[in-house]
Chains A and B, each alone.
Chain A
Amino acid sequence: MNSETREQPPPGNLRILAITNFFLISLMLSFFAFVLGKSVTILYPGWHPIGFMVMAFFVAFESLSLRYYQRRTSRFTQNIVLGILSEIILIILVAKLFSMLSEGFSTLWMQITSWQEDFIGNFLDPKSTFYIFGILFIWMMTWLFSGPINKLEEDHELMEQEKLGVVFTDRRDARKKLVNLIFILGFIMIFLASSINYFFASQVIYQTNSSPILPVLILYFAAGFVFLSLNQYAIMKAYWYFNDISVNPDLIKRWIFYTVLFIIFVVSVIIFLPKDFSIEINQFVEFLYRVIIYIFSILQFLIIFPIILIITLLSSLFSGEPIQEQIQDQVQEYTPVIPQPAGQMPWIEVVKTILFWTVFLVIIIFTIRFYIKNNIRIRSLFRNFPLASWIKDFWNWIKKGFLLLKQETASKYQSGIENIRRYLKERGRNLPKLSNILNIMPPRQEIIMTYLEWIRWNNEMGLIRRKSQTPLEFAQVCTQFNNEASVMIDDFTNYFITARYSTHPIEKEQAQEAKRLLSKLQETFQLKHDEQEAESE
Chain B
Amino acid sequence: MTEYLPLIVFLMILAVIIRDNSALTVLYMIIGTFLIGLWWNKRAIKHIEFSREFDDHAYLGDQIEVKLKIKNQSFLPILWLEVRESLPANLSSGKSVNNVFSLGTYGINKISYSLTAFKRGYYNLGPLKARTGDPLGVARSAQTDFGENPLIIYPRIVTLDALKLPSHSPFGNIRHKNPIFEDPSRILGKRDFSHGDSVRRIDWKSTAATGKLQVKLYEASIALDVLIILDLYIENYKMKSLYNASELAITAAASIAAWGNSQRQPIGLITNGKDPLTDNLMPQPLLPHKGTSHFINILEILARIQIADNYPLELIIHDKLANLSWGTTIILITGGLEFDDLDNLFRFRKRGLLPVVILTEHVPNYPGLRDMAKSLSIPIYTATQIDHLRTLGLD
Residue ranges of A at the interface with B (Cβ–Cβ < 8 Å): 1-4, 179, 183, 186-187, 190, 193-194, 197-198, 213-214, 217-218, 221-222, 225, 228-229, 232, 235-236, 240, 243-248, 250-251, 254-255, 258-259, 262-263, 265-267, 269-270, 273, 275-276, 360, 363-364, 366-368, 370-371, 374-375, 468, 473, 476-477
Contact = CB atoms under 8 A, between A and B. Distances in A.
A165 to B, nearest CB: 20
Given A183-B4, A240-B82, A367 B35 contact: yes
B135 interface: yes
10 contacts: A179-B4, A190-B23, A245-B100, A246-B99, A254-B77, A363-B28, A363-B31, A367-B34, A370-B5, A371-B6
Given A2-B97, A245-B99, A251-B101, A194 B23 contact: yes
Nearest to A375: B2
Contact of B35 (A4, A198, A366, A374): A366
A221 B95 contact: no
Contacts of A254: 77, 79, 102, 104
A259 B5 CA distance: 21
Given A2-B111, A193-B26, 15 more contacts: A1-B97, A4-B99, A190-B11, A190-B23, A228-B136, A251-B100, A255-B135, A262-B37, A270-B28, A270-B29, A360-B12, A363-B35, A367-B9, A367-B31, A468-B293
Report, nearest first, the 3 A-B pairs whose CB atoms are least far apart. Answer: A248-B101, A254-B102, A245-B98
B135 to A, nearest CB: 4
Contact of B25 (A248, A265, A270, A371): A270
A221 B111 contact: no
Contacts of B12: 360, 363-364
Contacts of A228: 1, 136-137
Contacts of B96: 244
A221 B135 contact: no
A235 B38 CA distance: 19
B227 to A, nearest CB: 15
Identify the interface centre among B18, B80, B297: most chain A CB within 10 Å of its CB: B80
Contacts of A374: 2
Nearest to A189: B26
Nearest to A378: B6
Contacts of A245: 82, 84, 98-100
A57 to B, nearest CB: 21
A262 B31 contact: no
A152 to B, nearest CB: 13
A187 B11 contact: yes
A235 B99 contact: no
B174 interface: no
Contacts of A370: 2, 5, 38
Interface in B1-60: 1-2, 4-9, 11-13, 15-16, 18, 20-38, 40
B294 interface: yes
A263 B25 CA distance: 14
A205 to B, nearest CB: 16
